[in-house]
Structures are given as C-alpha cells and as structure tokens.
C-alpha cells in the first residue's frame, strides 16, 4: 500500500496538514500573469519559490513557463528586497524585453513588509522601466488563502493597474474565466464568438500554455490578453465572472473602479452551469442562441440519456478547487450520480458549502479550508467507498490503494495530458468529461465482470 499509514478512523487534527488539497498563492498568481500578452511573471522572494512554481506549472502543462525572481539572500531578508527588485527590473527589461512585468509577493517579502507600490514607483523614477512598458504587482501572502486566491488577486490587479473607464462605453462584455485551463479559455472564447458576443477575456492563457511545436522557441507566445484589451474592460457594459473564488475580486474591482456592473456565475462545467452561462451571454449581449450551440447542447443531452444506466446511482468523491467542485457536483448529480464527499483545502467559506449542498443534496460531506486535506479525503473515501474519485494527480495514490477509478480533474495533473488541449467547460467540455467518466466506469465493468457476463455491446 502506498498510503499504508492512513487509518480509516477519523480523528480531529488541529495543526498538522497531511497531503494538502491546495497550494500557495504565488503559483496561481504566476499562472494568471501568463495570461497577459508578452508578460513576464516575477516572484518577489527567495528563488526557490519561483523554481517550485515554474516546475509545478511546467509539469502540469508540458510547456515552457518563463518567470523571474528577486533571488533574496539572507541580507535581503533582513534589509528588505527593494534593491533586488530594482536590479531585477533593470535586468528583465534589458535581457528579455517583455511588455509587462507582473510581480507577486511571497511569504518572505510579505513578512518583511516590502511595499511594492513604493518600489515600483522608485523603479519608474529611476528610469528602470522603459517607456511604454509596465510593471504591476499583487500581494500573494502564502499564509492566507490558496493558489486560487493568488489567481484571483493577480486577476484583480490587472483591473487595478490597467482597466480604465474612458467615458465611452464599448459594445463588449468582459469575461473573467476563472482558474481554468488554456483549453477552457479557448472554448469560452469560441462559445462567445459562436454567439456573436464581442468580449474581452482576461487572463487568457490559451496559446501561451498549450502552444505548438514550430522548431522555434518564443519567449512570449502569441496568446494572452493585451494590455489594451484589459484597459478597455473598463469601458465594457457588463462583466460576467466565472467562479466566485477565482473571479469575484476582479469583477468587483471593475464595478467599483470603472462602474462596470457584474454577475458572478458558476464555472460552466456541466449542462446546467453551461445553460446559465449561455443564457446570461444571450441576455447581457442581446443575442440569440445560435443553432450551432443548441446542437452541441442536444448532443450532450443525447449522451446523457443514452448512457444514463451507467451513471445512475454511482457514488463519487471529489477533491479539488471550490469553483470546479460546486459545478462538478451539480453536473454529476444531474446524471443521477451521488456526490458523497467534496473536499477542498481552499478556505472557500460557508457559501461554497451551501452551493454544494444545493447542487448535490444535504447528505454530501463538504470539507473546506484548514485541515481539509487529502489525508482527510482519503479517510472519507475509505469510509464511504465511492465508485469514482475526481481529483488531481496526487489522488492516484488513493485510487490505487483503494482500487477506485480516478477521473483526473483540477490542479496539478502531472501524469496525463489532455487538460491543456481539451476543455471541460461548455457543452463540448461536458461531453468530453462524460466520455472520460463512462470509459472509467466501463473499463472497470470490463475488468471485473465474470467471463459469462462480459459484455460486447455497452
């Protein structure tokens, strides 16, 4: 057994987190910053943070992840990191020439109390930031929230630094996609364009973290939301923000700073969440839902009805990030599966718990925040014996020990490809998710069926 020391019996833990169901803020901030065109994320702290985050994102995407660091030493930790960041900014623009440097803090620089506003001002005054180039920042203390919070904070900073209300409203809506994959971001754009909705979406990592092999490395790929686009978000007439945890702060900032009203929606994972997304797009943009989208919806529903017997009554345990989890819980429940366990290490709050209960019923065990880790999840799985586990790569240790199929969802996925290229959002994304769920269920049936009951047609 890989996790041979995990007992079935649950005991209260107050201080020891074992096998976390979250990671720290900066990695989310780094990911979000990669969704700005020609942006170099910069980690203000020891170089180990940057190295870890780049490694994590690289393993997840199998793509170059470029980011720099202030490389604190003991001296910087005592006297503050200003000198390191100023030198760093100068070197970055000289050697790499990005349009934007997006700085996020770390627990170290937060504890020291470095004032990023002041350091960036100083860099400006000292002429270290070339004309037309921008340095932005966000605070991402690792001792608060999770990687999702870091993503939310960096996305909010894009608004704080770039978005402007110039006084002339533009016929476009803003879409804040949430902490989703490049493939999802591309799919969201496709849906909007299919519906004829003009939009600004940020961050946008499509084309950045799922780029092609061309024989030539491009430090700054073609993808990403441009500064001008994010700027114009202040002139949009509406904002749709997907996922409360990841997208609410940016949407709120657009409202208060630029007076762009917003609606917070669930991540469009599954039929109903996608329905609501599409319907909101229709209403806010004043367009009709085109036949092509209706067709996709119909196909999804068709598979659900055709294959219903394989979903019905199957128990699922979910671990991951809150915005994904609540939508996923709803979708699986719609398939007549039973979502019995939902765990996230992100402090998602009682609203999250209510949302999951609303989606999958009061019986679902929901754990979030401190102490809600994969060790606890494993214990709940041992007690509940679900038919399927939904979670990131680390869940494979549980899946193997308990002999339960794993559907890989969330971050990080180190051991499979697909998430970069095939979306989970929208009707098409839901269809792919269904395919994966069905394959897992059917493979298991094929493996376990007695010879006389081995089915050819399923």
Partner 1 sequence: MDNTIEKSIAKLPDAAEVKEEILAKYPAKVARKRAKQIIVNKVNEGEQVQEIMANTRTIPGILSMRGCAYAGCKGVVLGPTRDILQITHGPIGCGFYSWLTRRNQTRTKSDKHPNYMPYAMSTDLQEDEIIFGGEKKLKKAIDEAVALFHPKAIGIFSTCPVGLIGDDVHSVAREMEEKYPDVNIFGFSCEGYKGVSQSAGHHVANNKVFTDVVGQLEEEKEGKFKLNILGEYNIGGDAFEIERIIDKCGFTLHSTFSGNSEYDEFASAHTVDLNVVMCHRSINYLAEMMEKKYGIPWFKVNFVGAEATAKSLRKMAAYFGDKELIAQTEKVIASELVEVEKIRLEVKERCEGKLAMLFVGGSRAHHYQELFTEIGMQTVSAGYEFAHRDDYEGRKVIPNIVVDADTRNIEELSVEADPQRYRERKTEKEMKELEKSGMRFNDYEGMMSEMKDNTLVIDDLNHYEAEVLIEKYKPAVFCAGIKEKYVIQKSGVPLKQLHSYDYSGPYAGFKGAVNFYREIDRLVNTKVFSLVKAPWDNSPELAGNYAWNN
Q: Which of residues 38-57 bind partner 1 (CB under 8 A)?
A: 42, 45-49, 51-56
111 is catalytic: yes
Give me the residues paired with residue 100 across strands.
39, 134
Binding of partner 1 at residue 27 (CB under 8 A)? yes
Q: Are 373 and 19 in contact (CB under 8 A)?
A: yes
Instruction: Kindly identify the residues of this chain, within the stretch 291-350, that bind partner 1 according to CB under 8 A.
Output: 345
Q: Is 129 in the site for partner 1 (CB under 8 A)?
A: no
3-state secondary structure at position 450: coil
- Strand stretches in 300-351, DSSP E: 315-319, 338-344
**Phi and psi at residue 263, in whole multiples of 5°?**
-130, 135
Q: Which is nearer to partner 1, 57 or 269 (CB)?
A: 57
Instruction: For residue 73, state whether it binds partner 1 (rule: CB under 8 A).
Output: yes
Q: Looking at 107, 343, 356, 366, which residue is catalytic?
A: 107
Q: Judged by CB, which is closer to partner 1: 149, or 247?
A: 149
Residue 65's nearest CA partner among 219, 192, 207 is 219
Q: How far is the CB of 71 from partner 1 (least distance, A)?
A: 4
Query: Which residue is catalytic, options 111, 287, 289, 303?
Result: 111
- Write the interaction track for partner 1 spanning residues 359-398; mark x where CB under 8 A is met and - where it is not: -----------x----x------------------x--x-
Angstrom distance (rounded) from CA 149 to CA 143: 11
Residue 443 CA to residue 448 CA, distance in Å, equals 9
- Out of 29, 39, 107, 356, point to the residue binding partner 1 (CB under 8 A): 107
Q: Does 141 bind partner 1 (CB under 8 A)?
A: yes
Residue 95 lies near partner 1 (rule: CB under 8 A): yes
From residue 193 to residue 212, the character string flagging contacts with partner 1 as x (rule: CB under 8 A) and all else as - is ------------------x-
Cα Rg for the chain, rounded, in angstroms? 22
Single out the segment in contact with partner 1 by CB under 8 A; choices: 68-76, 153-161, 238-246, 247-255. 68-76
Residue closer to partner 1, measured from CB, 270 or 320 = 320
User: In this structure, how many other beta carbons lie within 10 angstroms of the beta carbon of residue 245?
Assistant: 28
Q: Is 441 in the site for partner 1 (CB under 8 A)?
A: no
Separation CA 342–CA 318 (nearest Å): 5
Query: What's the CA dihedral at 201, 150, 280, 274 to 10 degrees?
Result: 100
Q: What H or E segment, with its residue span, contains residue 241? A: strand 236-242
Q: Which helix (H) or strand (E) holds 302?
A: helix 291-306
Stretch of 67-75, 245-253, 323-331, 417-425 contacting partner 1, by CB under 8 A: 67-75
Nearer to partner 1, 11 or 306 (CB): 11
Q: How many residues bind partner 1 (CB under 8 A)?
A: 84
- For the question of residue 319 being annotated catalytic, the response is no
Query: 91: how many CB neighbours lie within 10 A of its CB?
Result: 12
22 binding partner 1? (CB under 8 A): yes
- Contact call for residues 355 and 279 (beta carbons, < 8 A): no
Among 125, 127, 216, 362, binds partner 1 (CB under 8 A): 216
Q: Which is nearer to partner 1, 73 or 193 (CB)?
A: 73
Q: How far is the CB of 382 from partner 1 (least distance, A)?
A: 14
- Which part of the chain contacts partner 1 (CB under 8 A), choosing from 82-90, 151-159, 262-270, 309-317? 82-90
Cα–Cα distance measured from residue 108 to residue 56, given in angstroms and rounded to the nearest whole number:
20
Q: Is 457 in the site for partner 1 (CB under 8 A)?
A: no
For residue 255, what are its two tokens?
Answer: 């409202």
Hey, how many other C-beta atoms are within 10 angstroms of the C-beta on 86?
17
What residues have CB less than 8 Å from 94, skipping those under 6 apart?
none
CA distance 291 to 454: 40
Which of 32, 39, 66, 119 is the binder for partner 1 (CB under 8 A)? Answer: 66
213 binding partner 1? (CB under 8 A): yes
Active site residues: 107, 111
């Amino acid at each position: 057994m890989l996790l041979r020391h995990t007992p079935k019996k649950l005991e209260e833990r107050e201080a020891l987190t074992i096998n976390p169901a979250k990671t720290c803020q900066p990695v989310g901030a780094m990911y979000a910053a990669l969704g700005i065109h020609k942006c170099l994320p910069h980690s203000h702290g020891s170089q180990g943070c940057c190295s870890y985050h780049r490694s994590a994102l690289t393993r997840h995407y199998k793509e170059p992840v470029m980011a720099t660091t202030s490389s604190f030493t003991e001296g910087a930790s005592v006297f503050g990191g200003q000198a390191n960041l100023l030198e760093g900014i100068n070197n970055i623009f000289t050697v790499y020439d990005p349009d934007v440097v997006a700085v996020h803090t770390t627990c170290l620089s937060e504890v020291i109390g470095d004032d990023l506003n002041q350091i960036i001002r100083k860099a400006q005054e000292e002429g270290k930031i070339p004309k037309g180039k921008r340095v932005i920042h966000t605070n991402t203390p690792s001792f608060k929230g999770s990687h999702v919070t870091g993503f939310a904070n960096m996305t909010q900073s894009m608004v704080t630094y770039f978005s402007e209300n110039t006084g002339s409203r533009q016929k476009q809506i803003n879409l804040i996609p949430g902490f989703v994959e490049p493939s999802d971001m591309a799919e969201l754009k496709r849906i909007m364009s299919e519906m004829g909705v003009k939009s600004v979406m940020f961050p946008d990592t499509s084309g950045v973290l799922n780029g092609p092999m061309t024989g030539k490395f491009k430090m700054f790929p073609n993808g990403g939301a441009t500064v001008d686009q994010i700027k114009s978000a202040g002139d949009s007439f509406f904002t749709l923000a997907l996922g409360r945890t990841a997208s609410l702060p940016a949407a709120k900032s657009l409202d208060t700073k630029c007076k762009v009203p917003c609606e917070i929606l669930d991540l469009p994972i599954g039929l109903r969440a996608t329905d609501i997304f599409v319907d909101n797009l229709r209403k806010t943009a004043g367009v009709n839902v085109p036949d092509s989208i209706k067709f996709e919806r119909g196909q999804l529903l068709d598979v659900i009805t055709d294959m219903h017997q394989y979903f019905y009554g199957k128990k699922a345990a979910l671990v991951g990030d809150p915005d994904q989890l609540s939508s996923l819980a709803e979708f699986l429940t719609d398939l007549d599966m039973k979502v019995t366990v939902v765990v996230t290490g992100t402090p998602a709050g009682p609203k999250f718990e209510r949302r999951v209960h609303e989606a999958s019923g009061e019986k679902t065990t929901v754990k979030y925040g401190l102490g809600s880790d994969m060790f606890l999840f494993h214990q709940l799985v041992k007690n509940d014996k679900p038919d399927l586990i939904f979670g990131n790569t680390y869940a494979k240790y549980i899946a193997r020990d308990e002999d339960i199929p794993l559907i890989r969802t969330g971050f990080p996925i180190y051991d499979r490809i697909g998430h970069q290229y095939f979306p989970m959002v929208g009707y098409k994304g839901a269809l792919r998710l269904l395919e994966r769920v069905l394959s897992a269920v059917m493979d298991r049936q094929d493996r376990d069926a007695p010879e006389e009951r081995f089915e050819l047609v399923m």
